[in-house]
């Protein structure tokens, strides 16, 4: 579980590679070469596959045609760089390492890293042919190159660096982190439809399981590789699988088949010597000394070319066993001494290597731990910022909601106040109307009584005047204005701001006019004669600066409409 996150990251990178790449430039799937010209691009993909399949003759023809197209397009620098690159790679296939290196260096000199980053990384990958001992610098380099080719959308190169990273981590016995890179490479190679490469990578996976100590899974995976007809392995790779299977299980049939594959190839002398040592050991285990000596003699013919000291130690140990079986103890002890000396040197070297690998694995673990801490810190920071923003939004939403509720409540209260004021105004108007009707009724009755002689004209006029004086009290007029200002609080304020010379009586008159009351009605309310209302209206017009043709009613109602 502790490596689940790393596995998920690598699988995500695999998925990303199927879609990514420079969106501004078309790429030649499954590689990252920029598309230049249809025929030239087709030749590029053909060259890639021919190189993998080791078809040198056909590859030579393809590169020759690429050179012809590049020469016809001298201004297209990428064509020249790519063609020179392939000419250098072809020299490698013919064994001309120095010539190929010079050609690649020439291509590199033409390649600007800013303008042609992909080409530069591909060329540097081919020039990176020296053996690199395990180091933290090498680990960082492999990671950075893997990241580059993932972003470039190159399935094959990303898979290659995935395999190299997996092998690197397996060599320092960090298989827990190495296996996920091999799994990533496997997925990428399947997407790129490269069955041979898939099989080779699965061999690396089985070797990682062996290093991890899971021999059962390793042996099962090797058998699956041998039985896989969908992605069959090459004869050379089959030899390795069979040899590894024998080393894990002791399956002599697998050993025999592996030996049959390599015995006629003069270049595979180390593999032949290894298998002949195995056969010698098997014969000694069966007490078949003649057969052991026969296989040991075959191994002796390969020994002069063998560079791996572990194979030589095994050869000397078997020689000791043979002389011991024959009773030649002096010779036996001589070869045992040689084998022991060489084993001690190997063990000493291995111990130093183990210490270096352990230190390197620790540094890599520290690097990953720090990266994980940084990633977690970044995630926590992002979550904190997100939570803070969310909290701010929620708080703002609650505040805004409450504000809307308050505003809604205030509008409801204002509506209720307005409705109450309207009702009060209507009641006051009804009361004034009733008073006016009552006054008219009394005045009519007084006139009738005067005409009948039941009351003198003078008394009738005195009663009418008294009624007029009490028909509109100051309290009622003030209450009327208070109610009106509740209905239209801006009316009086804006009237005063526009016309500072207006008195309270002028503003009251203006309010009556704004309500649509006629002169007679206003005279009743204000307890004055209608002629006095006409004079008050004229003075109000003068103070408001209205022209003779202007309507006082419209001018006053303009202020009443500014709510």
Q: How confident is the model at residue 563 (pLDDT cuts 50, 70, 90)?
A: very low
Q: For 8-33, give one letter per residue: b (16+ CB within 10 A) or e.
A: eebeebbeebeebbeeeeebbbbbbb
Q: How confident is the model at residue 487 (pLDDT cuts 50, 70, 90)?
A: low
Segment 374-407, tens digit of pLDDT: 888 888 888 888 888 888 888 888 888 888 888 8
Most confident of 57-71, 180-194, 416-430, 436-450: 57-71
pTM of the model: 0.59
Rounded CA-CA distance 139/3 in Å is 18
- Helices 38-53 and 77-93 pack at an angle, to 10 degrees, of 20
SS3 166: helix
pLDDT of residue 479: 56
- Which of the two residues, 124 and 469, has the higher pLDDT score? 124
Specify which residues 34 forms β-bridges with: 27
Do 154 and 31 form a contact (C-beta atoms < 8 A)? yes
In this structure, what token pair is assigned to residue 268?
């595979």
Q: Which residues contact 246 (CB under 8 A, 6 or more apart)?
A: 252, 254, 255, 258, 278
- Helices 519-526 and 504-514 pack at an angle, to 10 degrees, of 140
Q: How confident is the model at residue 289 (pLDDT cuts 50, 70, 90)?
A: very high
Segment 46-91, tens digit of pLDDT: 999 999 888 889 999 999 999 999 999 999 999 999 999 999 999 9
In this structure, what token pair is assigned to residue 152?
């470039």
Rounded CA-CA distance 59/47 in Å is 6
Handedness of CA 545, 547, 548, 549 (dihedral sign): negative
**pLDDT surpassing 70 at residue 464:** no
Q: Give me the count of residues in the chain.
A: 563
């Amino acid at each position: 579980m502790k490596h689940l996150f790393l596995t998920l990251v690598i699988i995500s990178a695999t998925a990303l590679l199927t879609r990514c790449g420079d969106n501004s430039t078309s790429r030649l799937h499954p590689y990252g070469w920029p598309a230049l010209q249809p025929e030239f691009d087709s030749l590029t993909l053909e060259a890639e596959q021919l190189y993998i399949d080791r078809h040198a003759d056909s590859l030579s023809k393809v590169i020759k045609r690429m050179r012809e197209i590049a020469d016809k397009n001298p201004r297209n620098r990428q064509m020249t760089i790519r063609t020179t690159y392939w000419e250098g790679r072809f020299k490698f296939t013919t064994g001309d390492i120095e010539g190929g290196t010079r050609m690649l260096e020439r291509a590199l000199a033409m390649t600007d890293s800013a303008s042609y980053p992909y080409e530069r990384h591909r060329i540097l990958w081919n020039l990176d042919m020296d053996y690199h001992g395990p180091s933290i610098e090498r680990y960082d380099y492999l990671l950075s190159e893997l990241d580059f080719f993932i972003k470039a959308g190159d399935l094959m190169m990303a898979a290659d660096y995935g395999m190299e990273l997996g092998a690197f981590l397996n060599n320092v016995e960090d298989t827990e982190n190495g296996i996920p890179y091999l799994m990533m490479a496997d997925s990428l190679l399947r997407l790129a439809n490269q069955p041979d490469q898939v099989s080779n990578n699965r061999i690396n996976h089985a070797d990682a399981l062996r290093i991890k100590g899971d021999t059962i899974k390793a042996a099962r995976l090797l058998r699956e590789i041998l039985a896989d007809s969908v992605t069959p392995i090459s004869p050379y790779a089959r030899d390795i699988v069979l040899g590894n299977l024998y080393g894990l299980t002791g399956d002599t049939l697998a050993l025999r088949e592996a030996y049959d594959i390599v015995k006629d190839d003069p270049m595979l002398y180390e593999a032949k010597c290894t298998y002949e040592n195995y056969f010698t050991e098997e014969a000694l285990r069966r007490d078949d000394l003649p057969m052991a000596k026969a296989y040991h003699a075959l191994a002796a013919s390969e020994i002069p070319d063998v560079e791996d000291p572990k194979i030589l130690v095994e050869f000397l140990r078997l020689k000791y066993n043979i002389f011991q079986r024959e009773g030649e103890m002096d010779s036996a002890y001589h070869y045992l001494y040689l084998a022991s000396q060489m084993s001690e040197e190997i063990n000493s070297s291995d111990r130093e290597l183990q210490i270096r690998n352990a230190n390197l694995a620790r540094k890599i673990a520290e690097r990953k731990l720090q990266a994980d801490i940084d990633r977690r810190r970044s995630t926590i920071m992002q979550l904190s910022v997100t939570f803070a923003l969310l909290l701010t939004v929620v708080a703002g939403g609650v505040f805004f909601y409450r504000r809307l509720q308050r505003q809604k409540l205030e509008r409801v209260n204002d509506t209720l106040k307005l409705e109450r004021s309207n009702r009060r105004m209507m009641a006051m108007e009804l009361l004034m109307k009733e008073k006016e009707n009552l006054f008219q009724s009394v005045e009519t009755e007084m006139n009738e009584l005067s005409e009948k002689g039941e009351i003198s004209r003078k008394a009738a006029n005195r009663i009418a005047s008294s009624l007029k004086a009490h028909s509109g009290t100051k309290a009622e007029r003030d209450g009327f204005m208070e109610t009106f200002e509740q209905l239209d609080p801006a009316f009086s304020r804006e009237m005063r701001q526009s016309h500072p010379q207006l008195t309270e009586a002028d503003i009251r008159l203006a309010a009556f006019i704004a309500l649509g009351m006629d002169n007679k009605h206003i005279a009743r309310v204000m307890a004055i004669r209608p002629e006095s209302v006409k004079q008050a209206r004229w003075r109000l017009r003068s103070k408001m600066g209205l022209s003779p043709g202007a309507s006082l009613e419209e001018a006053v109602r303009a202020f009443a409409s500014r709510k």
